[in-house]
Structure 1
Amino acid sequence: MEKETTNYQLILSKLESKASLKQEIYRNTIDVFAVAKKALSKIASRLHQDYHAKDPSVEVAYRDAHQFEAELKFSGDMLLLSMHSNVFNFEEGHRVFSSSYVKADPSLSYCGVIYIHNFLADSIKYNRLADEGTLIARILVNKQKRFIVEGEGQLGFLFESFSDSEISEEILTHIFELAILDCMDTDLQLPPYAAVKDITLHQKQTILAASGYPTGKRLGYQFKAEAQQNNNL
């Protein structure tokens, strides 16, 4: 009986130290994501206003898809912003655990996650389910709304340690602008001709007819060996 009481008290303790903590971080991430949507929407409005008169064919549009997702379309690119509904900790040995900030309170390493993906706009438009996107960055938010960013280019080192202050709309705008620049600096490349010159009728009638050429910025598009290999996985 004493052992059962001890276990029960341990459960109560862990609910306080982990469950309540994760709920707090989840609420923080929800708040930050709302600000992120606002920042992305403002970027879309400014780009549309400043560039539409120069070239109306270049579409810039923001869409609030649902509670955990928003999109920014700019010409042929789509920046897809999404929030994970769960809370995570870093893998053992990660550099955050060596910081004095986390050493003073280990619970500060738990984070909610906001992802920034880049897809081709046509992938979304034509529902090409085989198309590949790229994770440009992920924003990690802790119980104090302080953050780390892991990502491509400048986003891989500018915010690699927990910030000294809460994340803000100004900071999020800076992050999104860097993400947009990364998308625009990465062009869609043709694969070698020899790699895509052969195609079976089955592939033509199934893969291509269903969703068009499976395409991604860093993938190009795939035929034959690549598609066969994927089908065998």
Structure 2
Amino acid sequence: MEKQTDNYQLILNKLDNKASLKQEIYRNTVDVFAAAKKALSKLASRLHQDYTVNNPSVEVSYKDTHQFEAELKFSGDMLLLSMHSNIFNFEEGHRIYSSTYIKSNPNLSYCGVIYIHNFLADSVKYNRLADEGTLVARILINKEKRFIVEGEGQLGFLYESFSEEEISEEVLTHIFELAILDCIDTDLLLPPYASVKDITLHQKQTTLAASGYPTGKRLGYLFKSEVQQNNNL
């Protein structure tokens, strides 16, 4: 039998601690994501019953698209809910490390992540791959199923510290309601005419013919070359 070195024993110890910790957080995140899908589905049903039934021209629908993804369509907007399969920690110096909660057990800073993105519904419908979406919020869940939220508007400060209790379906519903309000309040704006008036024949025959104007709420609409130029600034 081979002799165990100090480094080998250290590997075993770290696997026992960190690998087990990450697996536990992953399972927690899967549980919370299932609850999030349920909350989003219920919210879609309520909106459909209370609004779409009376105004059929405005579609509200929920779709469970993937093990790690679901979507809520409401009028011209799409809320995309997705779960990352990996576990993360915060960067060194993050404010989270100053909390007594994390100081009591540094392992509590490790989190699974659930993302809430906003895309235009037409971006998904017409498969406009160049269109841009916006990260409205991300929900971070630790080994105790306690959570924080980073996001836009009220989601940027309401849940900025780890909760004192496990995340619940009621809290998830509140988060989704705020995310939907942010989407509705963010209009699609026209860019300056001069910035989109010139177009090459290549753009006309490829970009526009294939998917239309690359579009996003934060950029209005731009031609592909202009999106690339902006990304290089």
Q: TM-score, normalised by structure 2?
A: 0.96
- Judged with a 3 Å threshold, the aligned counterparts in structure 2 of structure 1 residues 148 and 224 are, in CA distance, closer, same or farther, namely closer
Q: Which runs of 4+ in 1 moved over 6 A?
A: 230-233
1:198 and 1:224 in contact (8 A); partners too: no
AA matched with 1:214: P
What is the CA–CA distance in structure 1 between the aligned matches of 2:41 and 2:191, rounded to whole Å? Answer: 35
1:195 and 1:224 in contact (8 A); partners too: no
AA matched with 1:160: E
CA-CA distance at 1:35 after TM superposition: 0.1
Q: 1:48 aligned to 2:52?
A: no
- Judged with a 3 Å threshold, the aligned counterparts in structure 2 of structure 1 residues 57 and 140 are, in CA distance, closer, same or farther, namely same
What is the CA–CA distance in structure 2 between the aligned matches of 1:227 and 1:147, rounded to whole Å? Answer: 35
What is the CA–CA distance in structure 2 between the aligned matches of 1:230 and 1:166, rounded to whole Å? Answer: 41
Q: 1:7 aligned to 2:22?
A: no
Equivalent position of 1:203 in the other structure: 203
Q: 1:16 aligned to 2:25?
A: no
CA-CA distance at 1:231 after TM superposition: 9.7
Equivalent position of 1:153 in the other structure: 153
Q: 1:62 aligned to 2:62?
A: yes
CA-CA distance at 1:116 after TM superposition: 0.1
Q: TM-score, normalised by structure 1?
A: 0.96
What is the CA–CA distance in structure 2 between the aligned matches of 1:225 and 1:193, rounded to whole Å? Answer: 16
CA-CA distance at 1:223 after TM superposition: 2.7
1:196 and 1:224 in contact (8 A); partners too: no
After superposition, the CA RMSD in angstroms is 1.9
Tell me the secondary structure at the aligned position of residue 86 of structure 2. strand
- Judged with a 3 Å threshold, the aligned counterparts in structure 2 of structure 1 residues 81 and 66 are, in CA distance, closer, same or farther, namely same
Gaps of 5+ in 2: none
Q: Summarize deviations over 1:46-96 as a string: whole Å, max 9, x none.
A: 000001232101000000001100000000000000000000000000011
Equivalent position of 1:38 in the other structure: 38
Q: Summarize deviations over 1:82-121 as a string: whole Å, max 9, x none.
A: 0000000000000111100000100000000000000000
Equivalent position of 1:138 in the other structure: 138
Equivalent position of 1:176 in the other structure: 176
CA-CA distance at 1:210 after TM superposition: 1.1
Q: Summarize deviations over 1:10-59 as a string: whole Å, max 9, x none.
A: 01110111000000000000000000000000000000000123210100
CA-CA distance at 1:5 after TM superposition: 1.7
Equivalent position of 1:164 in the other structure: 164
- Judged with a 3 Å threshold, the aligned counterparts in structure 2 of structure 1 residues 180 and 227 are, in CA distance, closer, same or farther, namely closer
What is the CA–CA distance in structure 1 between the aligned matches of 2:53 and 2:134, rounded to whole Å? Answer: 30
- Judged with a 3 Å threshold, the aligned counterparts in structure 2 of structure 1 residues 36 and 227 are, in CA distance, closer, same or farther, namely closer
What is the CA–CA distance in structure 1 between the aligned matches of 2:115 and 2:228, rounded to whole Å? Answer: 30
Equivalent position of 2:94 in the other structure: 94
Q: Summarize deviations over 1:154-181 as a string: whole Å, max 9, x none.
A: 0000000000000000000000000000
Q: 1:29 aligned to 2:22?
A: no
Q: What is the percentage of aligned positions where both structures have the same residue?
A: 84
Gaps of 5+ in 1: none
2:214 and 2:224 in contact (8 A); partners too: no
What is the CA–CA distance in structure 1 between the aligned matches of 2:39 and 2:23, rounded to whole Å? Answer: 24
Number of positions where the alignment pairs a residue of Structure 1 with one of Structure 2 = 233
What is the CA–CA distance in structure 2 between the aligned matches of 1:136 and 1:231, rounded to whole Å? Answer: 20
Q: Which moved more, 1:193-202 or 1:143-152?
A: 193-202
Tell me the secondary structure at the aligned position of residue 149 of structure 1. strand
- Judged with a 3 Å threshold, the aligned counterparts in structure 2 of structure 1 residues 206 and 41 are, in CA distance, closer, same or farther, namely same
